[in-house]
Structure 1
Amino acid sequence: MLRTHTCGELTKKDLDKEVILCGWVSSRRDHGKIIFIDLRDRYGLTQVVFIRSCSPNSYERAEKLRNEDVIKVKGKVSVRPEGTENPKISTGEIEVLAEELEILNSSEELPFLIEDNIEASEEIRLLFRFLDLRRKPLIKNLELRHKVIQSMRTYLNNLNFLEVETPFLTKSTPEGARDFLVPSRLNPSCFYALPQSPQLFKQVLMVSGLDRYYQIVRCFRDEDLRKDRQPEFTQLDLEMSFVEEEDIYEIIEGLCFYLFKEVLGIELKIPFPRLTYKEAYQRYSSDKPDLSTDEPFRFVWVTGFPLFKYNQEEARWDSEHHPFTAPFSEDLALLDKDPSQVRARSYDLVLNGQEIGSGSIRIHNPSLQKKIFAILNISEQAMEEKFGFLIKALNYGAPPHGGFALGLDRFLAIITDSASIREVIAFPKTQKGVCPLTGAPAKVSLRQLRELNIKVIRS
């Protein structure tokens, strides 16, 4: 290692130690024969002192330092003079008296200052994301994201869930939004689709007997973007066999309780309150009611959504959530009489007025699944082309099963009180789906297009 310590760990216990620190110059203050440097890494700040009479060579180099130069400093830990301590930082009682200085790399003139409260536009911040990510608020958000993901894994692993990866290159199936398509070079005129969710694969896993599955997974939707949307996003996806709604509620409430206790030190009140879809609209005129008036975080389950919604433009029924959601058994007779009155065994989890996750008990009977497809005006041929493998699996002893998916990005944006989910994602896209840092999406060469048997008609 080039360093012996980080910039956030030295204290009075380390007095007189010879240490080596590496980091970025956060600020430089020249007091004549003494230069003070605030050296920063992701762990914190350490004040480094260059004294001309003690180390003239290092002092001379320090005179040339600029903000965000990355350096390596060797020196001795010393107590700060009385009255100069900084109680706002963990290293505020000490400083390092520099003996050697190596400039590992210099920085160009900065497009914006690396400060907590930044005035630069989001476009500039995303263009220089490597600088933006040096700021403490974003570092804290990414550290919190890491802790939440690790805690999710710990909680679910302890409950005998298996983390199973599902394919990113799969076939296009209608799930509400447009798919991102990937051309297949080996199969001309054929396309993969990036998954909008692992929905069908996790149901197949239940048929396979893997009764408790989870995955922290990337999903992709080619849709118009808002502040709470990204074309690629992360969700906690889980599925369980031989369960009913109460079992899902218990697992998810336990997970949220564990996350808030472990990561934020907050004890949630569980079980969460519940409202039916009709009750939510009657009381709050919304299926995403905000109950956070007296507490910073208020969860509520909203249940019993309509199974279908009528598409006036196309004069047909659409799924309210997705076509794999089971109806209430007492509403089965209404499938033929009045689909608008059929209730879904679905549930949304709402936090402070925002939906952070949803799930349902799935259809495990192949005949019922075909009937739902028929109501949705999906022909036998389209049914076979799009969902034939699922129907086939359901014919081989599919158990009752249900699941849930929690949107990690939105969840993190709420608990960090961020203005946008872009504040909790390392490399987000803009509202136009563009990555300013890399320039994606971008044009490709004609050679690449020819290899894929693709011809651009108009650009």
Structure 2
Amino acid sequence: MLRTHTCGELRRSNVGKKVKLSGWVDSIRNFGRLWFIDLRDRYGKTQIVMTEKDIDKKLLKELSLESSVGVEGQVNERKDKNSKIETGDIEVFASSLQIYTKCPTLPFDMKAESSEDMRLKYRYLDLRGEKMQGNMILRHKVYKAIHDFMDKEGFVNIETPVLAKSTPEGARDYIVPSRVNKGKFYALPQSPQIFKQLCMVGGLDKYYQIARCFRDEDLRADRQPEFTQLDIEMSFVDVEDMISYMERLWSFVFKEVLEIELKTPFSRMTYDEAMKNYGRDNPDTRKKGERFALTWVLNFPMFEWKEEDKRWYAMHHPFTSPEDNANFKDLGKIKAKAYDLVLNGSEIGGGSIRIHNKDIQNEVFSALGIKEKEAKEKFGFLLDALSYGAPPHGGIAFGLDRVLQLITESESIRDVIAFPKNKNAADLMMDAPSFVSDDQLKEVGLKLEKK
């Protein structure tokens, strides 16, 4: 056993006990033959006292900041109590010291502000910091609260494929060549959208998943090429049902994790009201002194016209249900059964009631310029599924990285992700993306064109 207690566990009630602690050297102080170190792990810090009489001087001189070490000794009451740490009433008088791994000179000062690129390059060191560890632990607590709520409400956690098929917006897909089927490609999912709808057809009426998604977007400071979303889908629901469930979900999460009581129902406004009164579809509705404000934005346009392409696009996605009795001869006036949830002026989730009628789905594809042949090639399985007794259904997806950034009040979304990419979609620690060998390319039937 390398430790009997954590570095944040010992109290005055433990005085006189023999203990073993392991952790990282947070600070070193030497006064003649007397040595003090603060030993740290993710639970806290404990002051360790060592003398050159009990511990070899050569070993003590080997100590360096951030080395991982183990000590064994007796818990004593401190004379100079430290109210800044929870173990401040005690110290451990060490009888033995073991240096597991000596740390060389650090590439940056872990207790001072450092450049983000340096922190990302040495992310394993950055993760030792109090801020990052706090964010990772909070992230875990949010996930646990979500799982607890969804389980209590009868939802089923279902994993969907990561190797899937390219979507209509395929230019933003990450594609994966197939070695077995040369010349063909998988696409990494931008969303589990189609699969969760198929779960509804399959009778799994309450689906959820904390899903990894991938999007090869243009470079933006607040986006990541891979991200995590809470994906939810339900059968036999309307807009009001979805809103009710989601308000109870986030009320539960905020209460469990942050001990904050959210006021329900959340405020609401239409898309047209948001644009008229705030000039944006993600309004910040916080009042003075209010930390969090959640607002639903409803009745989005079904389609939006892109002048550069001279064509209509789905404002949400092509599986969103239009309003009842929609007039497809006037696409610009059709409203969607869509809803966004906004937190402090940032959209954290978007969803809609889905199309469960094959004929309406085909009409939407036609409005988007997706020909019948293309629709059959890309979504034939979905159109077939819709014809086999598909139930009315709806869903929503929440960007958990964004939620966590907002509730931790972090400057960057990268501060709530363990191993993020930088602003250029690069992993500085792994040096990715990187080139691969000609042999690897040949094996999957690819050859790079040299310029």
Q: Tell whether the structures are fold-level matches, with TM greater than 0.5.
A: yes
Match of 1:296 in 2: 291
**AA partner of residue 265 (structure 2):** P
Match of 2:247 in 1: 253
**In structure 1, what is the Cα distance between the partners aligned to 2:267 and 2:342?**
10
- Cα deviation code 1:248-287 (max 9, x no counterpart): 1111111111111100011010110100001111111111
3-state SS, counterpart of residue 329 of structure 1:
coil
Q: Tell me if the contact between 1:35 and 1:49 (Cα under 8 Å) persists in the aligned partners.
A: yes
Quote the offset at 1:61 in angstroms: 1.7
Match of 2:27 in 1: 27
Tell me whether 63-72 or 214-223 shows the greater mean CA deviation. Answer: 63-72
Match of 2:363 in 1: 371
Quote the offset at 1:175 in angstroms: 4.2
Tell me whether 238-247 or 291-300 shows the greater mean CA deviation. Answer: 291-300
Quote the offset at 1:13 in angstroms: 1.1
Match of 2:74 in 1: 76
Q: Tell me if the contact between 2:247 and 2:265 (Cα under 8 Å) persists in the aligned partners.
A: yes
* Residue of structure 2 aligned with 1:275, choices 246, 269, 272: 269
Match of 1:93 in 2: 89
Quote the offset at 1:63 in angstroms: 2.7
* Residue of structure 2 aligned with 1:439, choices 420, 431, 437: 431
- Cα deviation code 1:161-190 (max 9, x no counterpart): 000000000000124761000000011110
Quote the offset at 1:156 in angstroms: 0.4
**In structure 2, what is the Cα distance between the partners aligned to 1:212 and 1:371?**
27
Q: Does 2:313 correspond to 1:318?
A: yes
The 5-angstrom pairing of residues 321-360 of structure 1 reads 321-330=316-325, 332=326, 334-336=327-329, 338-360=330-352
Match of 1:161 in 2: 155
Match of 2:99 in 1: 103
Match of 1:50 in 2: 50
Q: Tell me if the contact between 1:42 and 1:139 (Cα under 8 Å) persists in the aligned partners.
A: yes
Q: Tell me if the contact between 1:225 and 1:231 (Cα under 8 Å) persists in the aligned partners.
A: no
**In structure 2, what is the Cα distance between the partners aligned to 1:188 and 1:104?**
49
**AA partner of residue 298 (structure 2):** T
**In structure 1, what is the Cα distance between the partners aligned to 2:220 and 2:13?**
50
**In structure 2, what is the Cα distance between the partners aligned to 1:378 and 1:423?**
40
Match of 1:218 in 2: 212
3-state SS, counterpart of residue 441 of structure 1:
coil
Match of 2:139 in 1: 145
**In structure 1, what is the Cα distance between the partners aligned to 2:180 and 2:409?**
47
* Residue of structure 2 aligned with 1:285, choices 273, 279, 289: 279
3-state SS, counterpart of residue 436 of structure 1:
coil
**In structure 2, what is the Cα distance between the partners aligned to 1:358 and 1:401?**
15
- What is the alpha-carbon root mean square deviation over aligned residues? 1.1
- Structure 1's 229 and 56: CA in aligned 2 closer, same or farther, altered over 3 A? closer
TM-score, structure 1 as length reference: 0.96
Q: Which runs of 5+ in 1 are unaligned?
A: none
Quote the offset at 1:352 in angstroms: 0.3
**In structure 2, what is the Cα distance between the partners aligned to 1:458 and 1:89?**
60
**AA partner of residue 77 (structure 2):** V
Runs of 4 or more above 4 Å deviation: none
Quote the offset at 1:60 in angstroms: 4.3
3-state SS, counterpart of residue 63 of structure 1:
helix
- Cα deviation code 1:390-422 (max 9, x no counterpart): 000000000000001010000000000000110
3-state SS, counterpart of residue 166 of structure 1:
coil
Quote the offset at 1:132 in angstroms: 0.4
Count of residues in Structure 1 that have an aligned counterpart in Structure 2: 450
**In structure 2, what is the Cα distance between the partners aligned to 1:176 and 1:170?**
12
3-state SS, counterpart of residue 257 of structure 2:
helix
**In structure 2, what is the Cα distance between the partners aligned to 1:429 and 1:311?**
30
Q: Does 2:2 correspond to 1:10?
A: no
Match of 2:394 in 1: 402
Q: Tell me if the contact between 1:362 and 1:401 (Cα under 8 Å) persists in the aligned partners.
A: yes
Q: Tell me if the contact between 1:178 and 1:223 (Cα under 8 Å) persists in the aligned partners.
A: yes
**In structure 1, what is the Cα distance between the partners aligned to 2:331 and 2:55?**
84
**In structure 2, what is the Cα distance between the partners aligned to 1:63 and 1:106?**
11
3-state SS, counterpart of residue 335 of structure 1:
coil
TM-score, structure 2 as length reference: 0.98
**In structure 2, what is the Cα distance between the partners aligned to 1:177 and 1:99?**
63
Q: Tell me if the contact between 1:177 and 1:221 (Cα under 8 Å) persists in the aligned partners.
A: no
**AA partner of residue 33 (structure 1):** R
3-state SS, counterpart of residue 62 of structure 2:
coil
3-state SS, counterpart of residue 252 of structure 2:
helix
Quote the offset at 1:87 in angstroms: 1.1
- Structure 1's 175 and 203: CA in aligned 2 closer, same or farther, altered over 3 A? farther
3-state SS, counterpart of residue 328 of structure 1:
coil
**AA partner of residue 384 (structure 1):** K
**AA partner of residue 265 (structure 1):** E
**In structure 1, what is the Cα distance between the partners aligned to 2:94 and 2:69?**
12
**AA partner of residue 81 (structure 2):** E
**In structure 1, what is the Cα distance between the partners aligned to 2:137 and 2:369?**
47
Quote the offset at 1:111 in angstroms: 1.1
3-state SS, counterpart of residue 124 of structure 2:
helix
